Every structure is written in C-alpha cells, then in structure tokens.
Amino acid sequence: MKKTLLSICIMLAAVVGQAFAQSNDVAGNKRFTVSVSTGEGGQIEIEGTGAVSKNSVASATINTGEDVVLVITPDEGYELKTLFVDGTDVVADVTDEGTYTIAAISKNMSVSATFEEKTEPQVKGDVTGEGDVNTADVVAVYSYIIEGDASGWLKERADVTGEGDVNTSDVVAIYAIIIGE
C-alpha cells in the first residue's frame, strides 16, 4: 500500500512538473499573455483559446511568434466603437467579419474595447425624428433658436447645415428640403 501510494505521488509529481514546464516553455518557445477587457455591449474571444471577455477581463497565453486572432462580437443593437491594442486604436483595421489579428506576438499585450448603441440613420432636416422632413421640423428649429437646449430638441439635429450653430440658415435648409431643392 505504501509503495502504491509512493508510486502515485511520484507519477503525480512528474505530471505536475511536466505540466509546469509546458506552461512556461513549450518546445523552447517563450510565451506571452494577451489580456482583453470589454465593457457593456459586446464580447471579444481570443480565438482558439476559449478565453472570452464580456463585461470583464479575459487572458490567454500564446507562444512567441504566433498570430493572435481576436473575434469581436457586438451585442444586438450595439457596434464596436474603439479597439485599443497596447494603447493604439486599431478599430479601423477590424475586418468586415469582425476579426483583428495581432501578428507574430513577441510581448505581453493589453487589448481593450468599447461598444456603443447603434443609432438609426437620421434623415437630414428631420429635427423631430419622425422619419420625414416637414413644417414640424421648421417649428422645432425656431424653438431651438429661441430656447436653446431647454427647447428639448437636439442641437445636432437642429443644426441642419452642420455649421455648429442653430440659426435661420437651418430653417432655410429645411424649407429647401421640403420643396425638393
């Protein structure tokens, strides 16, 4: 019984030692950690590792020189706003399929992402948000000119001309839209 127990302990020690060696040095390769953090609105998976960050932080250890593929999946009604890899925003490099590849990893890396709610496309001149442009939008712009933010209308919508200010030129622009100019 003692020999069996001793044999089991020796085999267990060998397995643990081998596992420890593999986690630190696989086939002579250094390993690096990729840490991913996300907020509300989506998740990022470090492909092939099972590590998924959703409103949390996830990490995976990758062999030096390997590519790291991040699979970005926004929640329904959300879209990716920023993707920072070691402090650099790489959101423009995300593929249409929602992936980003870190090529040939050679150091520990930090990834963070933010997601934002999608906004419905706005019809230019539709200050009231009804889906079309009409005299109610003219009234809304006049209201914004007189009362500002207290009018309850969004400045971004009331500024039809995009000049950064809401004034009578926005009213003229709405009339031009209404009559089809």
pLDDT value of position 19: 37
Taking the whole predicted model, whether its pTM rises above 0.75 is answered as no
State the pLDDT at residue 26. Answer: 47
Same domain, 66 and 140: no
Same-domain pairing of 113 and 142: no
Structural domain includes residue 167: yes
106, 119 contact by CB (below 8 A): no
Same domain, 67 and 99: yes
At 17 the pLDDT is: 34
Total of domains in the chain: 2
Is 14 a residue whose pLDDT tops 50? no
Position 3 confidence tier, pLDDT thresholds 50, 70, 90: very low
Q: 153: domain range? A: 135-178
User: pLDDT value at position 120?
Assistant: 65
In a domain, 65, yes or no: yes
Q: Is 7 inside any structural domain?
A: no
Asked if residue 5 belongs to a domain, the reply is no
147 and 83 co-located in one domain: no
Based on the fold, state whether residues 29 and 96 are members of the same structural domain.
Answer: yes
Least confident piece of the model among 37-46, 82-91, 151-160: 151-160
- Same structural domain, 113 and 147: no
Domain assignment present for residue 2? The answer is no
pLDDT greater than 60 at residue 101 = yes
Show Cβ contacts of residue 17 under 8 Å, excluding neighbours closer than 6 positions. none
Whether residue 172 sits in one domain with residue 103: no
- Same domain for 83 and 149, yes or no, is no
Q: What is the pLDDT of residue 41?
A: 94
The answer as to whether 87 is a domain residue is yes
- Position 98 in a domain: yes
Share of the chain above pLDDT 70, in %: 83
32-57 pLDDT, tens digit each: 999 999 989 999 999 999 999 998 99
pLDDT tens, 109-152? Answer: 999 999 998 876 678 899 988 888 999 999 999 999 999 988 88
Question: Does residue 71 belong to any structural domain of this protein?
Answer: yes
